[in-house]
């Protein structure tokens, strides 16, 4: 699939919607989501899934033959374990900050892989949206 196909542009932005929605809900004072729990916990549970998914993508890139200086197998496992550990042990505000760092790190790894410029542009904007939403969640 070519990287400039509509689906590869739409899906990453669609993936930002839960982060943006939770940040906006908190801005408007909605602290609890019926049947789901605290709004920040919902965002962080989703963040744990997405950061793990993004880290797992690097396994596929490694298996397809990409061999950057950074060991993708080690870095992807480290990212997933740090995300999980922060979910288990940190207060939500600190977990948000860890997730911001992890999403930024995953984007940095993608820039090192010399991926398609269209994909990297999408990743850059999506990472900015996600990190901004998580920072808002952290300070609200």
Least confident of 25-34, 52-61, 76-85, 89-98: 52-61
| 57 pLDDT above the threshold of 80 | yes
| 15 pLDDT above the threshold of 90 | yes
Cα separation of 3 and 115, whole Å? 9
Instruction: Sketch out the chain's domains with CATH numbers.
Output: 14-139 (1.20.140)
The helix (H) or strand (E) run that includes residue 20 is helix 6-27
pLDDT band at residue 24 under the 50/70/90 scheme: very high
Q: What is the pLDDT of residue 1?
A: 43
Cα separation of 27 and 35, whole Å? 20
Instruction: Convert the pLDDT of each residue in 82-134 to its tens digit.
Output: 999 999 999 999 999 999 999 999 999 999 988 899 999 999 999 999 999 99
CB 129 within 8 A of CB 19: yes
Alpha helices in the chain (DSSP H): 6-27, 39-63, 72-89, 92-112, 117-139
Q: What is the pLDDT of residue 110?
A: 94
Structure tokens at 44: 């962080």
| 67 pLDDT above the threshold of 80 | no
| 22 pLDDT above the threshold of 80 | yes
Give the pTM.
0.94
| 33 pLDDT above the threshold of 80 | yes
């Amino acid at each position: 699939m070519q990287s400039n196909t509509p689906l590869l542009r739409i899906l990453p932005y669609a993936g930002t919607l839960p982060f943006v929605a939770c940040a906006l809900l908190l801005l408007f004072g909605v602290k609890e989501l019926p049947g789901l729990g605290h709004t920040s916990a919902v965002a962080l549970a989703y963040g744990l899934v997405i950061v793990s998914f993004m880290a797992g993508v690097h396994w596929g890139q490694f298996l397809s033959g990409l061999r950057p200086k950074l060991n993708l197998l080690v870095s992807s496992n480290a990212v997933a374990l740090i995300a999980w550990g922060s979910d288990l042990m940190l207060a939500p505000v600190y977990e948000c900050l860890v997730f911001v760092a992890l999403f930024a790190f995953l984007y940095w790894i993608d820039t090192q892989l010399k991926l398609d410029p269209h994909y990297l542009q999408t990743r850059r904007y999506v990472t900015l949206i996600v990190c901004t939403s998580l920072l808002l969640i952290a300070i609200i």
